[in-house]
Structure 1
């Protein structure tokens, strides 16, 4: 079934044109790692840490070559095909980039279920990530292995060119850009906005011309793309979903490594995860300062306003469980993982706050 979901080997000739440099010539193994982003992105920060760790911990036996942008593959489907057929070794996708193949990953885009970084990082470092790994392995016929889940941009917040959003009522009629995936469109619609799916590359011009009036992104992405220059002025820090990044590796490639090499690689992915958890926390400091300097306004909802958003979004949970195959099961697993993580974080905080 999995093979029919992909186009037949789109990358067969592409990689033969690539000359690998660095220590690759002296290494026994070279891992080809792809991120459809740039050096300003958290994905690159994670890859830089991964490369450094793996090359040093393997004493140069494993090299990591990093390819940014679309020089190897241009879409999530193409890149995951490369993982499956072995022409790419490591790839990072957003939820939207992998949802066509693994739709249940969209559970992490469900809004207002995780309260903060500590809870989100606990969930993504625990058994729920293993459950997603096993599902993806099964659905890919054993070809694609989920290695870790990191972060790419902090939290999604609603931002727009028109006015401050205090409550869901302020979303009414706003033309909001979404990714093509169904869930974010359903969320905007449920909150009263008008979802407008479009590629990321078209968003600046669309904001500038009024084709759309808002978007849901992290502040680092907003400032990296200079959206205030396109008229984006208002951000509401509702933090409705954690911007997860899924790091994939070909199962056959991983299995070809010795046990010691596998240990180096999985430890490298752990270091990568920690780096991507930390990166947006640091970068958003300057990003928010730049946003306000550019005339932007930042609004933090009150507890009551946040509760109003959570209540207004509840139909999205019903839509998810009713419309995605296995949606009810994965939703139950995710909410159980969130509850367990919240309890763990609360217990840790109590110890930390003890007098």
Structure 2
């Protein structure tokens, strides 16, 4: 009798434990990219972490490409209405709904990876961005984290080395059809020329444009050196931020312990997207030089000249972008705190 009672008790406990670990939530996550992209790398890490850390209570389904939605505006609307749980947006893709998110496209605000990564892990800065996005979306879209998708934007062209802002003068530089990137290019003395991404190779080849502002992995994935792109200047004028969004109702519907798992999962995702471009760009830079390309790194004085030439863009941003002043102030303050801490740590480290 005792043996039978014990066995019955063990079976009951096993059933309870199994129920506790059964799948309770399914998160549909999408990225308008491909499996070679940093967004995919981050999602794979997120899925692995969340499913394990939740003991199977959360399942993450990945939809890479345009299976669920075709572009940034459509995908963000999907997040808002709950048909999509998680989406990663670029600042350009989200600008129509969250215009102030274009702060990441402003040039020369973050000097390097260490500063950028400190800013994007700063609870005060990210909290400001989250609060503004929730307000703009009527509490439907929540910013979970900001990662990276492709490193830094740099100027590249077919004509000459760009070492100073004056070297940009007169060059036709490809931009997207958006006011801010066009304002950046024209402020620096070049001629902004909107060209769709699929047409850029032919446009470089035929002289419709003479340059572009992209990360090295995009340049090499599209084989732009074959179109005559020869000169690359590592001015790092804009950090290619990836803004990870989640349906706020879905997130808040989870018990606190699972919300913690999701937040930690996004932290793991963020670190994966920070690391991925650094590894991929090594091979891309080598391939660029092997294809006959020239890479130039501006001196500190030249970088200062670029930053000074770009200064009017900040005034334009504050005057023309709703929420621009608040977002710019938040980023500048965070970057200043990061620089101060990093410089102090450096002084200790080099002694």
Q: Same fold (TM over 0.5)?
A: yes
Any residues of structure 2 matched to 1:221-236 within 5 Å, and which? Answer: 221-236=218-233
Q: Give the gaps of 5 or more residues in structure 2.
A: 1-21
TM-score by length of 1: 0.90
Is 1:104–1:327's contact at 8 Å kept on the other side of the alignment? yes
- C-alpha distance in structure 2 between counterparts of 1:93 and 1:200, whole Å: 17
Aligned residue number for residue 66 of structure 2: 70
Listed one character per residue, the Cα deviations across residues 110-154 of structure 1 (whole Å, up to 9, x for unaligned) are 111211111111111111111000000001000000000000111
1:166 Cα shift?
1.2
1:206 aligned to 203, 208, 215, which one?
A: 203
Shift of 1:298: 0.4
Q: What secondary structure does 1:310 align onto?
A: helix
Answer whether contact 1:166 1:301 (CA < 8 A) is retained: yes
Q: Assess if the C-alpha contact under 8 Å between 2:169 and 2:189 holds in 1.
A: yes
How far apart are residue 234 of structure 1 and its match? 0.9
Residue among 261, 264, 284 paired with 1:264: 261
Matched, 1:275 2:260: no
**Pairing 1:58–2:54 present:** yes
Question: Is the partner of 1:216 in helix, strand or coil?
Answer: strand
Out of 152, 156, 168, the residue aligned to residue 155 of structure 1 is: 152
Q: Which stretches of structure 1, 4 residues or longer, exceed 3 Å deviation after superposition? A: none
Say which one has the larger Rg: 2
- Matched residues in 2 for 1:179 and 1:293: separation? 29
1:128 aligned to 2:125? Answer: yes
Counterpart-to-counterpart distance in 2, 1:130 and 1:198: 35
- Any idea what the Cα deviations from partners look like across 1:81-137, whole Å, max 9, x if unmatched? 000011111100110000111111111221112111111111111111110000000
1:312 matched residue in structure 2: 309
Take 1:318 and 1:226, find their aligned partners in 2: how far apart are those partners? 36
* Superposed displacement of residue 287, structure 1: 0.6
2:194 maps to 1:197: yes
Moved more, 164-173 or 243-252: 164-173
1:147 match: secondary structure: strand
RMSD of aligned residue pairs (Cα, Å): 1.2
How far is 1:256 from its partner? 1.6
- Counterpart residue number, 1:15: none
Equivalent pairs counted in the alignment come to 329
Q: TM-score, normalised by structure 2?
A: 0.91
Q: Which runs of 5+ in 1 are unaligned?
A: 1-25
> What do the CA deviations read for 1:288-320 (whole angstroms, capped 9, x no partner)?
001111111101111121111111111111111
Q: The residue matched to 2:66 in structure 1 has which SS?
A: coil
Matches within 5 A, 1:1-355: 27-126=23-122, 127-354=124-351
Deviation at 1:327, TM superposition (A): 2.1
Deviation at 1:56, TM superposition (A): 1.2
User: Partners of 1:342 and 1:351 in 2: how far apart?
Assistant: 14
Residue 321 of structure 1 and its aligned partner are, at CA, apart by 1.3
